[in-house]
Chains A and B, each alone.
Chain A
Amino acid sequence: EVQVVESGGGLVQPGGSLRLSCAASGFTLSNYWMCWVRQVPGKGLEWVASTNRDGSQNESVASVKGRLTISRDNAKNSVYLQMNSLRVDDTAVYYCARDSPGRSGPDVWGKGTTVIVSS
């Protein structure tokens, strides 16, 4: 079964760090761009970042540049989101997702992991 499963969410204080992980299975990770999308509960979807097949190209929304960094380890079938200098407005459900075909948005989504930034 093709799936992605997120982990690593939790409660963190403003200014703190967190690393989200995404385990991919049922497909060859190295063949796909991957991304993170977030959603504040009760609000809309916001694309956060994408990484190309080998991790050599990363794109992210301006509001997270320099703080949230996407990466991948194809050998471990994993994608990551390193979250530093977290702010209250980073509080959201974070979805890991596969982008296929390219630029067509996520065709496979995880169930999401919740990040709460609060003092």
Chain B
Amino acid sequence: DVVMTQSPLSLPVTLGQPASISCGSSRSLVHSDGITYLNWFQQRPGQSPRRLIYKVSNRDSGVPDRFSGSGSGTDFTLRISRVEAEDVGIYYCMQGTHWPWTFGQGTKVEI
């Protein structure tokens, strides 16, 4: 199985400041169709997860443009350009390239 490793696991942030989360995979996430299926999710306290980014850098509808995703191969990053209070929660990366799909351990973002 592909192991997804996130860092840091805990991220204290300052409102208005940037933040970034790294996600590494144990093997390349480039699918045989040429697409990289690396996705990012946010889970606010007490809520279901919500997808923010799919296929590395595509923002979901309604996701603020302060969220961005980048990376290739085995190394990926989620960036928040200016942290807001509503961004508190746990962030997960997930790969959909190889079965079984696997998630990272999660990164807890707190003010």
B76 / chain A contacts, CB cutoff of 8 Å = none
Q: Is the CB of B37 within 8 A of A103?
A: yes
Q: How extensive is the interface on chain B, given as a class?
A: 20 to 34
A37 vs B50: C-alpha distance when bound (angstroms): 13
Q: Is the CB of A106 within 8 A of B100?
A: no
Q: How many inter-chain contacts with C-beta < 8 Å in the A-B complex? A: 63
The answer to whether A106 and B51 touch (CB under 8 A), given A47-B101, A62-B100, is: yes
B48 / chain A contacts, CB cutoff of 8 Å = 95, 109-112
A110 vs B48: C-alpha distance when bound (angstroms): 7
Is B41 in the interface zone, CB < 8 Å from A? Answer: yes
Q: How extensive is the interface on chain A, given as a class?
A: 20 to 34
Interface residues of B in 15-58 (CB under 8 A from A): 31, 35, 37, 39, 41, 43, 48-51, 54-55
What are 15 A-B contacts with C-beta separation under 8 Å? Answer: A44-B90, A44-B105, A45-B103, A47-B94, A62-B1, A103-B35, A103-B37, A104-B39, A104-B54, A105-B37, A105-B54, A109-B48, A109-B49, A109-B50, A111-B48
Q: Footprint of A on B, CB under 8 Å? A: 1, 31, 35, 37, 39, 41, 43, 48-51, 54-55, 60, 90, 92, 94, 96-97, 99-106
